[in-house]
Chain A
């Protein structure tokens, strides 16, 4: 018996089959995704080892003030005589862990509430969805500002404010995915076999929705950094003398002629946000069952 020339999957032209999403590193290797991942990993390493590699104490005011880059410092000094390079490195250690914490928390809260809403439906669904509507009705940044201002300026309060505005998108996404899967034959089959609601959710639904949630989360890390920096920029986050990118850019406005004060923390924000976006895009492509067939060379007519 010879092997069939082609498996069915490759020759089902009219139907796009839903495939088990798999991460295949081979296809994951879009140049942008790799670059993004490299930059993101680099920044995370910097965030961890910042205290070791800083050439100067980021808080010490012991250098000549407002010195342009090159005179003994890599990125110049600020109006209080602190080393900008050291402060940018130290800022990574402040912002990145908080952004990751923020995203993890919003995924947890959003996914749990969304799954409950989608699975149990009725008034539970109604209640949770109205709350998300309420939050999402306001522009994200403005609402976060209001909450942060009400809580008082501190980095942790900024994270809390950002959390309040960012979980609803996960709740929405999860609810939609759960709703769609609830009707699927294998979930119904499980219920017919006497699965309890929790078992249904855990066994049949959860493993099949992590992919899209992961993608949204990775795309959201950049947004989270931007939001936290933005709040600090507005004076609602990190308090001086903490080296935080947003507040550094904000300080730079007072010394507009010293371009290096704003440029370097700004670049830091830019690179990491773009990097995480690339990672998220690549992840989405890699997990998308449709692009899977496309790139696998299958028929998509």
Chain B
């Protein structure tokens, strides 16, 4: 059962020399209760794709194609949807977690306030109910001592805890879909491991569906069920995780894995240097 269907999504950016495609007709289907990875390097268009789903693109970008959210058998077209429709979906049906938790949390509101505001707005909960739920949520994402954490401010937490709180805020209204844009990139590996475990649990236990955008194939290998590899606005390869890492079809995927220490296709450092010097890699041609 699919929950989010992206069909022929095209994103153009207005430039002085006319529109240019940032995302050039991609298709992606997010299944319910799965983690779908969207991998790619900076500039591949993976982040704008995530932003387009929620209608968060800057005005200089135009979209075409279709993004359909399918909840309770009701299909909602998100591209070009009116403001009110999007407002009802953002945070409520589709929530987002960003790379840097210190900028996605409001620095001057207590954690409790940030959690309950959403619930009271979207779910029309009373003060007390919202508070109880907020506490339960913090417990869910394993923030230690939830009761006192509610009263604290974001800067009083470590980076990893802040990302947990940001996830809790995203989950406040029980969204069906979580868009996670490089959620662990700014974190240390030991902290990253915890966040990945949390994501997996949320998907397996609570039936959340996650679109995981990251450049880190190690992260993909740990948690993604499906992986789409994006490059220059196009999905070059999309496959179940195991298959992608063991039997990649596209040359670009192979080149990514070749440069990835510990992968099955890893090449020796000497070979990588030789390639770099021969400028055969895409980056050198740029």
Q: State yes or no: do A and B touch (Cβ within 8 Å).
A: yes
Binding site for B on A (CB under 8 A): 1-2, 4-8, 10-14, 26, 296-301
Interface contact B45-A6, CB-CB below 8 Å? yes
What B residues does A297 contact at CB under 8 A?
13-16, 60
A13 and B286 contacting across the interface, CB-CB below 8 Å:
no
A-B contact pairs, 7 of them (CB 8 A): A1-B282, A5-B22, A6-B13, A6-B21, A6-B233, A7-B286, A13-B51
B277 at the interface (CB under 8 A from A): no
**B22 partner, pick from A2, A6, A14, A300, beta carbons under 8 A:** A6
A11 touches B20 (CB 8 A): no
Q: Cβ of B232 < 8 Å from any Cβ of A?
A: yes
Q: How far is the CB of A219 from chain B (nearest CB, A)?
A: 28
Residues of B within 8 A of A299 (CB): 13, 48, 58, 60-61
| A116 CB, min distance to chain B CBs, angstroms | 37
Contact across chains for B15 and A5 when beta carbons are under 8 A apart: no
By the criterion CB–CB under 8 Å, are B47 and A13 in contact? yes
Q: Is the CB of A5 within 8 A of B233?
A: yes
Count contacts between A and B, CB distance < 8 Å.
65
- In the complex, what residues of A have CB within 8 A of residue B13's CB? 6, 10, 297-299
List the A side residues contacting B285 at CB < 8 Å. 1
Picked from B43, B47, B98, B99, the residue with its CB within 8 Å of the CB of A8 is B43
Q: Please tell me if the beta carbons of B232 and A4 are within 8 angstroms of each other in the complex.
A: yes
- In whole angstroms, how far apart are the Cα atoms of A26 and B17 in the complex? 13
Contact with A along B72-89 (1 / 0, CB 8 A): 000000000000000000
Given the complex of chains A and B, what is the CA–CA distance between A10 and B196 in angstroms? 30
Residues of A within 8 A of B61 (CB): 299
- In order of increasing CB-CB distance, the 8 nearest A-B pairs are A297-B60, A11-B43, A8-B43, A5-B233, A5-B232, A297-B14, A4-B232, A297-B15
The smallest beta-carbon distance between A15 and chain B, in angstroms, is 9
A12, A296, A301: which contacts B15 (Cβ < 8 A)?
A296
Q: Does B100 sit within 8 A of A, measured CB to CB?
A: yes
Identify which of B16, B24, B51 gathers the most chain A CB atoms within 10 Å of its CB: B16
Complex: how many Å from CA A26 to CA B16? 10
B232 touches A11 (CB 8 A): no
CA distance in complex: A2, B61 (Å):
22
B2 within 8 A of A: no
Interface 1/0 per residue, B1-33 and A, CB below 8 Å: 000000000000111100011101000000000
Query: A41 to B14, alpha carbons, bound, how many Å?
Result: 34
Contact of B109 with A by CB under 8 A: no
The one of B47, B60, B100 that contacts A11, using a Cβ cutoff of 8 Å = B47
Q: Chain B residues with Cβ under 8 A from A11's Cβ? A: 22, 42-45, 47-48
- What is the CA–CA distance of A298 and B60 in the complex, to the nearest angstrom? 7
Contact call A12/B22, Cβ cutoff below 8 A = no
**How does the 8 Å CB contact mask read for B232-250 relative to A, with 1 for contact and 0 for none?**
1100000000000000000
Known: A8-B43, A11-B44. 9 other contacts (CB 8 A): A5-B45, A10-B13, A10-B15, A14-B100, A296-B16, A297-B14, A297-B15, A298-B60, A299-B58
